[in-house]
């Protein structure tokens, strides 16, 4: 079937289904992240990015009124795509990854995912795309994604990394409520192919890189960096080329735009002064926001053990506990003859110290025998687990360099 025919059928299906199936008043917000891509700390940090967006939504009084259901998937779409069937809006915050054949692919172009997104689009579900969620390996296969997001760019096309003045183009649009012009450090693209979109923000940026080579073109030019699409049948899409840096989510204007966009895409009212969050923003571009208030002492009586088939987990410090914004600290107890599942952490290293007992610890494809006093450091992204080979409980102190530890497979 020709790409244009697929798009026409998709649009017709969207129009019919959106009329027949109104979205729920209580929105379900789905946040889809992606794996980090080997860049410097804070760049392309998609797992922590969607976790921060989750915190922003949950701390927003404007969202609290709606009592939304928030489903967060830090490193990609769930294996069971039916888990997001009830979405009112889906936010995509990831970049191209290596496919099964080793070639780069946008996660949204996986056939099963693409079919799921088409089904949601046909129901009038909203979409918010950030940074490289609209980047494709080549434009030959981009048609369905371009139709959904309003624009695409090819990997390796021209871009710049700079602080640039950003202008509000669509004044009066709900997405720009409470937003004025601002300066902003990010990655700016100069080769996005747009469909029929409404430009929302533009950035005056140069071209600094072309085909992996450094250039510098004067003068700087205004380039669309955020846009909206009102799809056939009532579905809404907002796309934003920014978000290269995790710190983007601390910028007050960017944060307001994104919160507004999620509300708008979910077909909810946007406050005239813009959506807000109680999490502090950065006082100026490049600065860190002030630390959140923290509990200084957590009594052991307040620790709530989590029973596991293999033993138990106890948590002593983390952001959810309210006593750290930098680390997660806890203790794992593994019963004799038991082992925890093989798992990995997409957003943090782990330091494991044996307090008591005798374990065999797998790290990657190797195993290490460990006794009381031994310590192992497990790098981010490496598969690992512990097996109790002793006759008593193995008690393990565990710590992570993120207050929002994510475990995949645990």
pLDDT category at 57 given cuts 50, 70, 90 is: very high
Is a pLDDT exceeding 50 seen at residue 78? yes
Give 95-138 as a DSSP string.
--EE-TTSSEE-GGGSHHHHHHHHHHHHTT-EEEEEGGGGEES-
3-state secondary structure 33-65: CCCCCCCCCCECCHHHHHHHHHHHHHCCHHHHC
pLDDT category at 19 given cuts 50, 70, 90 is: very low
Q: Which residues of 223-255 are buried (b: 16+ CB within 10 A; e: fewer)?
A: bbbbbbbebbbbbbbbbbbbbbbbbbbbbbbbb
Which stretch of DSSP H or E encloses residue 262?
A: helix 252-265
Query: What CATH topology corresponds to 300-400?
Result: Jelly Rolls (2.60.120)
- pLDDT, mean of residues 119-135: 97
For residue 376, the model assigns a pLDDT of: 98
| 263: nearest Cα among 19, 29, 18 | 29
Find the distance separating the first CA and the last CA of the chain, reported in whole Å.
Answer: 42
For residue 267, the model assigns a pLDDT of: 97
Asked if 193 and 153 count as a contact pair (C-beta separation under 8 A), the reply is yes
Does 287 or 61 have the greater pLDDT score? 61
Residue 294 φ/ψ, nearest 5 degrees: -130, 145
SS3 of 255, please?
Answer: helix
For residue 25, the model assigns a pLDDT of: 77
164's CB contacts (< 8 A; 6+ apart) are 183, 184, 185, 186, 188, 203, 204, 205, 220
Is a pLDDT exceeding 50 seen at residue 5? no
For residue 99, the model assigns a pLDDT of: 72
In the DSSP assignment, the letter for residue 287 is P
CATH dotted code for 3-265: 3.40.50.880
pLDDT category at 13 given cuts 50, 70, 90 is: very low
pLDDT category at 123 given cuts 50, 70, 90 is: very high
| 93: nearest Cα among 56, 65, 138 | 56
Joined together, the tokens standing for residue 292 give 């959140």
Give pLDDT tens digits for 155-178.
889 999 999 999 999 999 999 999
Is a pLDDT exceeding 90 seen at residue 196? yes
Give pLDDT tens digits for 348-402.
999 999 999 999 999 999 999 999 999 999 999 999 999 999 999 999 999 999 9
Is a pLDDT exceeding 50 seen at residue 71? yes
Is a pLDDT exceeding 80 seen at residue 16? no
1's CB contacts (< 8 A; 6+ apart) are none
For residue 122, the model assigns a pLDDT of: 95
Q: How far apart are CA 112 and CA 134, in angstroms?
A: 17
Is a pLDDT exceeding 60 seen at residue 209? yes
Q: How far apart are CA 291 and CA 279, in angstroms?
A: 9
Percent of the chain residues past pLDDT 70, beyond the cut: 94
Q: Where are the domains of the chain?
A: 3-265, 300-400
Asked if 259 and 56 count as a contact pair (C-beta separation under 8 A), the reply is yes
C-alpha triplet 85, 88, 93: angle, nearest 5°: 90
| 132: nearest Cα among 82, 95, 101 | 95
Least confident of 35-39, 179-183, 308-312, 393-397: 35-39
Residue count of the chain, please give it: 410
For residue 401, the model assigns a pLDDT of: 97
pLDDT category at 213 given cuts 50, 70, 90 is: confident
C-alpha triplet 299, 304, 308: angle, nearest 5°: 145
Which stretch of DSSP H or E encloses residue 217?
A: strand 213-230
pTM: 0.89
Average pLDDT of the chain is 92
Q: How far apart are CA 327 and CA 319, in angstroms?
A: 8
pLDDT category at 8 given cuts 50, 70, 90 is: very low
For residue 103, the model assigns a pLDDT of: 79
Is a pLDDT exceeding 90 seen at residue 101? no
For residue 24, the model assigns a pLDDT of: 55
Is a pLDDT exceeding 80 seen at residue 3? no
Q: Is 300-400 in the same CATH topology as 3-265?
A: no
Is a pLDDT exceeding 90 seen at residue 409? yes
């Amino acid at each position: 079937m020709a790409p244009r025919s697929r798009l026409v059928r998709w649009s017709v299906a969207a129009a019919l289904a959106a009329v027949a199936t109104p979205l729920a008043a209580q929105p379900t917000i789905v946040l889809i992240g992606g794996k980090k891509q080997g860049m410097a700390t804070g760049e392309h940090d998609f797992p922590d990015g969607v976790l921060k967006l989750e915190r922003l939504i949950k701390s927003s009084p404007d969202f609290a009124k709606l009592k939304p259901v928030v489903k967060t998937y830090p490193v990609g779409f769930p294996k069971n795509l039916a888990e997001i069937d009830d979405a009112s809006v889906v936010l995509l915050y990831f970049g191209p990854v290596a496919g099964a054949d080793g070639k780069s692919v946008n996660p949204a172009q996986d056939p099963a995912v693409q079919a799921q997104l088409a089904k949601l689009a046909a129901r009038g579900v909203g979409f918010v795309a950030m940074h490289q969620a609209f980047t494709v390996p080549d434009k030959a296969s981009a048609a369905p994604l371009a139709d959904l997001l309003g624009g695409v760019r090819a990997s390796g096309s021209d871009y710049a990394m700079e602080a640039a003045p950003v202008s509000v183009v669509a004044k009066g649009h709900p997405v720009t409520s409470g937003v004025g012009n601002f300066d902003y450090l990010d990655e700016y693209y100069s080769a996005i192919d747009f469909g029929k979109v409404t430009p929302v923000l533009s950035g005056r940026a140069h071209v600094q890189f072309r085909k992996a080579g450094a250039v510098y073109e004067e003068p700087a030019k205004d380039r669309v960096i955020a846009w909206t699409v009102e799809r056939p049948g009532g579905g809404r899409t907002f796309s934003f080329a920014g978000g290269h840096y995790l710190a983007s989510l601390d910028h007050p204007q960017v944060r307001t735009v994104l919160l507004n966009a999620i509300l708008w895409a979910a077909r909810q009212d946007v406050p005239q002064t813009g959506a807000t969050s109680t999490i502090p923003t950065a006082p100026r571009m490049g600065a860190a926001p002030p630390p959140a208030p923290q509990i200084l002492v957590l009594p052991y009586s307040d620790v709530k053990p989590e029973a596991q088939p293999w033993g138990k987990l106890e948590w002593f410090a983390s952001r959810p506990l309210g006593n750290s914004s930098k680390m997660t600290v806890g203790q794992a107890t593994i019963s004799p003859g038991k082992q925890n599942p093989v798992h990995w952490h997409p957003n943090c290293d782990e330091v494991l110290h044996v307090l008591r007992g005798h374990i065999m610890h797998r790290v990657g494809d190797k195993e290490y025998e460990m006794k009381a006093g031994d310590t192992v450091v497990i790098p981010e992204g490496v598969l690992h687990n512990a097996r109790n080979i002793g006759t008593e409980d193995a008690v393990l102190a565990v710590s992570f360099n993120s207050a929002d530890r994510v475990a995949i497979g645990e």
